[in-house]
């Protein structure tokens, strides 16, 4: 049986830069029609010229694939209305990182004072620029996302015309917020649909499953699965595929990030066939994102088939999730 996915989208993707960009960009551009690109480079993407330049480097690295990188800025509370008016047609969102919560986020927000954020967020509302948020505090690691829920509520209440994307949600509490506030949406990763903290650290430590936000409890994973498999219109796939060289993962200072981009479609197909239906897979991986972000996407049809596929041990210097293991589905054909 062939399974067809039209114009798949990855609404939260890390492509890095330089040599790493050249390795990983084609692995997404081959299979996806487009992706929301994270701006947390070193230094982060904060100007119009940097957005334009980074997009061009991504397009060049993607080679001849039909792929649209939807660009973002690294949030600064000092962005003026004039600046946002000038840059709004070059970006699809602005990404807010609390300072120090994840990779390359040291320049992020150090407090959520309404007075400091108000001008920028009101201008974003006016220009219909979504606010994408890594929603964690600096508290105890298992509680960080749940603790951030009150900040989501504060922002959603004070800026009702601002579209807010809760990125890579991992908890039951975050799922519950979706139906509580009209302007809250969410991305969900593949790996948080697959694993719990027990898979990361319950036996031998698995560095290639270590990520931020960290995988949570089985009941949290069940809540994520339920909302994703149901076709809920406010959730969409965002891989948070985050490549690091093998020597940065298999180390005492293990970097946070799970690399899933080249095998995400195969594993999502397997998950949805086991738990839901193909109509909801199409919603999760494309239709909902198009509606939420109001974007047009390049036409691309990915055809999968039930045929065993062995995940490579590495892509360049990057080890993917489940490296060397056999999965049930393969890419049969890509039609652009």
Cα gap 287→274, rounded to integer Å:
21
Rounded CA-CA distance 39/125 in Å is: 20
Q: Which of 240, 247, 279, 294 is catalytic?
A: 240
Peptide bond connecting 6 to the previous residue in cis, omega within 30 degrees of 0: no
**DSSP letter, residue 188:** E
The residue ranges of DSSP E strands in 61-212, in sequence order, are 68-70, 72-74, 93-96, 131-133, 164-166, 184-188
Q: Is the peptide bond before 43 cis (omega within 30 degrees of 0)?
A: yes
The reply to whether 240 belongs to the active site is yes
> What are the residues facing 283 on neighbouring strands?
none
DSSP 136: -
Ramachandran sector of residue 7 (left: φ over 0; alpha: ψ -120 to 50; beta: rest): left
213: preceding bond cis by omega (within 30 degrees) = yes
Q: How far apart are CA 15 and CA 46, in angstroms?
A: 17
Contact 184, 156 (CB under 8 A): yes
- Identify the CA nearest to 311 among candidates 213, 208, 211, 188: 208
> Are 228 and 189 spatial neighbours (Cβ–Cβ below 8 Å)?
no
Active-site positions read: 240
């Amino acid at each position: 049986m062939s399974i067809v996915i039209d114009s798949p989208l990855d609404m939260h993707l890390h492509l890095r830069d330089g040599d790493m960009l050249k390795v990983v960009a084609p692995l997404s551009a081959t299979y996806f029609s487009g992706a929301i690109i994270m701006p947390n480079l070193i230094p982060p993407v904060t100007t119009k010229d940097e957005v334009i330049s980074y997009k061009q480097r991504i397009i060049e690295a993607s080679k001849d694939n039909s792929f649209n990188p939807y660009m973002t800025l690294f949030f600064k509370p000092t962005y003026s209305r004039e600046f946002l008016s000038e840059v709004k047609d070059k970006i699809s969102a602005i990404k807010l990182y609390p300072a120090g919560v994840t990779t390359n986020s040291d320049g992020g927000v150090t407090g959520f004072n309404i007075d400091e954020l108000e001008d920028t967020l009101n201008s974003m509302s006016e220009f219909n620029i979504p606010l994408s948020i890594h929603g964690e505090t600096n508290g105890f690691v298992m509680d960080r996302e749940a603790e951030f829920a009150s900040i989501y509520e504060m922002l959603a209440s004070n800026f009702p015309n601002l579209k807010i994307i809760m990125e890579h949600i991992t908890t039951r509490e975050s799922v519950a917020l979706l139906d509580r506030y009209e302007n809250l949406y969410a991305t969900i990763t593949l790996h948080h649909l697959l694993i719990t903290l027990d898979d990361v650290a319950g036996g031998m430590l698995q560095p290639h499953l270590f990520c931020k936000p960290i995988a949570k409890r089985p009941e949290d994973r069940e809540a994520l699965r339920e909302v994703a498999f149901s076709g809920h219109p406010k959730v969409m796939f965002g891989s948070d595929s985050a490549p690091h060289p093998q020597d940065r993962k298999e180390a005492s200072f293990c970097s946070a990030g799970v690399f899933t981009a080249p095998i995400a479609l195969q594993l999502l197909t397997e998950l949805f066939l086991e738990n839901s239906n193909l109509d909801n897979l199409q919603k999760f991986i494309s239709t909902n994102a198009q509606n939420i972000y109001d974007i047009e996407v390049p036409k691309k049809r990915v055809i999968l088939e039930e045929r065993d596929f062995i995940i490579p041990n590495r892509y360049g210097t990057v080890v993917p999730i489940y490296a060397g293991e056999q999965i049930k589905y393969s890419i049969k054909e890509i039609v652009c």
